[in-house]
Chain A
Amino acid sequence: NAGVTQTPKFQVLKTGQSMTLQCAQDMNHEYMSWYRQDPGMGLRLIHYSVGAGITDQGEVPNGYNVSRSTTEDFPLRLLSAAPSQTSVYFCASHPGGRNEKLFFGSGTQLSVL
């Protein structure tokens, strides 16, 4: 059982470049989300989805796009990378329900030069 799989593990970009962080889950969870984790701060929600075809913005959505064409996949796109987007990115999924736990991927460490 793979759980939540993120790729790549590490990525270095130049300012202005675009890229897509991949996230896939095999638990048939309806809810998926993207977070960024910066030193000294709690995880912050970028975008989330409550099912295929449905996405919404979180706390820090600017500079990022998402889509949810299938239940399994939830890619995060950086449109034009900026140094402020240097961070560790985590994808998470949730089965729904009041007291269920989030399942996190292992993260993508992104550096924008």
Chain B
Amino acid sequence: KNQVEQSPQSLIILEGKNCTLQCNYTVSPFSNLRWYKQDTGRGPVSLTIMTFSENTKSNGRYTATLDADTKQSSLHITASQLSDSASYICVVSPKPNDYKLSFGAGTTVTVRA
């Protein structure tokens, strides 16, 4: 059973608009949560990493939030650009230096002009 669930599965937004992606996890124990961006035909690239004590982390127009109590995270994309079209993957690490990560299936974002 996948311990990391992402929603929606896909979404389409107009260029310049904002959007929010959701990630719910049941992984326990929990060390950190990561968001990755994966362009079509490429490997995932790290956007943010948050430990259980962090509530928010930004990387340019990307802002991730974390609620460790409810085991929920979100990724907010501000003023979307065509280059934001990609799959966004939520990844949970169970404990420090444990590399057996749990990956969500991803949310596919399509930005249209």
Interface residues in chain A, defined as those with a beta carbon under 8 Å from any beta carbon in chain B: 4, 31, 33, 35, 40-45, 48, 50, 58-59, 90, 92, 94, 96-99, 101-102, 104-107
Contacts and interface: CB of A to CB of B under 8 A. Distances in A.
Nearest to B46: A101
Given A40-B105, A43-B103, A98 B96 contact: yes
Nearest to B106: A42
Contacts of A45: 99-101
Given A42-B106, A43-B103, A98-B96, A104 B45 contact: yes
Q: Secondary structure at chain B's binding surface: helix, strand, loop or mixed?
A: loop
Interface in B73-113: 89, 96-97, 99-106
Contact of A107 (B32, B34, B41): B41
Nearest to A3: B43
Closest 4 CB pairs of A and B: A104-B43, A42-B103, A101-B46, A43-B103
B73 to A, nearest CB: 15
- Interface size class on chain B is 20 to 34
A106 B41 CA distance: 7
Contacts of A107: 41-43
Contacts of A106: 41-43
B70 interface: no
A102 to B, nearest CB: 7
28 contacts: A31-B99, A33-B99, A41-B105, A42-B2, A42-B4, A42-B103, A42-B104, A43-B44, A44-B103, A45-B101, A48-B99, A48-B100, A50-B99, A90-B44, A92-B43, A97-B97, A98-B31, A98-B32, A98-B96, A99-B49, A99-B51, A101-B34, A101-B46, A102-B46, A104-B44, A104-B45, A106-B42, A106-B43
A104 B41 CA distance: 12
Nearest to B98: A98
A97 B96 CA distance: 8
